[in-house]
Structure 1
Amino acid sequence: MNKLFLAVIIAVIFSGCNTYQNNSTYIIAPGETVDIYYSTNSCCFYCLINEDQLKHIRLVDQKTLDPGPDQCEGCNATFAFTFKAGSIGTDTVKLKHLNALDTCTYPGGVTENYIITVRE
């Protein structure tokens, strides 16, 4: 009986934990949204470098999902870019990870690509 009780307690604890994990590709229907997650601290940031090239989706929100521990300067926080599907087709979201003093047009940085296909 104690093992069952312990298993239930562990399951309840872990079911409350959020995991923010991206897929390399998404398939959604018109009107649906998809979140692309990222985690960073005050040293760095992410920017959407090809927003003007997106034809079938649009950026509708940028939100903080987990601000990190209280009173912890330099700790990571988790954020999301939210995209909404419009027309049928495929777009590639390109996010660039940059240092705090860089700009989105900076030629360096690490780029992450996420393919979003919109279909019925």
Structure 2
Amino acid sequence: MRAYSLLALLLPLVSANVHAECDCQTWSEGGQWGYNRDLTHWICYHVYTNTATFMDKYGRCVATQSALDGQDWENKCVQYGTQDGYRAFDNKGNPIESGPLLKVGAATGHCPDRY
């Protein structure tokens, strides 16, 4: 009985996809896959406002309250990168509100570490 209780406690931890930091990788027609600083910054600024911060030095969104869910992060990279659009940022870290929203051909999330 105890083994089943322990398994029930540990199973969510094994299947969890949680990370301390994440960024977005994108592709546009005629180009190659690569890191997208503005999309990463936008998601951190726009979606994870109270739970993470964009670390300019590393160019990644870093969790400040609790870990970032990797699947949710990837879904947001795809959603804002290819569908909803995102803004570029000025050198002071503010979104540039003028002009159309930016979009890419394809996007994916990248979360290099695990808790």
Q: TM-score range by the shorter chain?
A: 0.3 to 0.5
TM-score by length of 1: 0.31
Of the two, which has the highest radius of gyration? 1
TM-score by length of 2: 0.32
